[in-house]
Structure formats: C-alpha cells, structure tokens
Amino acid sequence: MSKIQVQRNYWYKVIDHYNNVLNEKFMNQPLTPFTQHFMKIAFENAVNDCKRRETHPAWHVPLVLTFDLVHQRFIVEAAHPETLEII
C-alpha cells in the first residue's frame, strides 16, 4: 500500500482548518453526548466540503474526530496514520 506524502506545514494547515471550524461552532461547550453528536456531523460536513473543493492530497486523507473527555477537548487526526508520510 502506498503512503500519501504530505509536507508537515501543509498537514498542520489541514488539521488547523478543521479545529477552527469546530471551535467556531462549539467553543466552550461541554462535550456532552449531545454536543459530540453535533460536532461529528459538523466535522463530516466540513471534511466533505473540503474534499469537493481541494485538490491537494492532504485534504483527502481519511480523518477521524475523537474526544478526550477528561480534558474536555476534541482531537482531529488521521484515521490510518500508517498510510500517511509526513515529509
């Protein structure tokens, strides 16, 4: 299986974009199951919009949204980090 090569600064640009989208809509809200549900929907919509609009391979890396409930934060990361090569 070939890896998707992405420059480090561009990868952080992608992750920052999704963090900003979610922070704009859900800033300072407790991560209740209700909030998590709507965050996942907003995240999926943002990912689909970017996949339609952007041509750079970094925007097409499958991503996953996870939650750290202890620290009340969300994490956007590659769904399969083994398929990603940061250069």
Kindly report, residue by residue over 21-72, the tens digit of the pLDDT: 999 999 999 999 999 999 999 999 999 999 999 999 999 999 999 999 999 9
Burial class (CB in 10 A: 0-12, 13-18, 19+), 2: exposed
pLDDT exceeds 70 at position 1: no
Identify the pLDDT of residue 20: 98
Q: What pTM was computed for the model?
A: 0.93
Cα separation, 52 vs 1, whole angstroms: 24
pLDDT of 82 reads 92
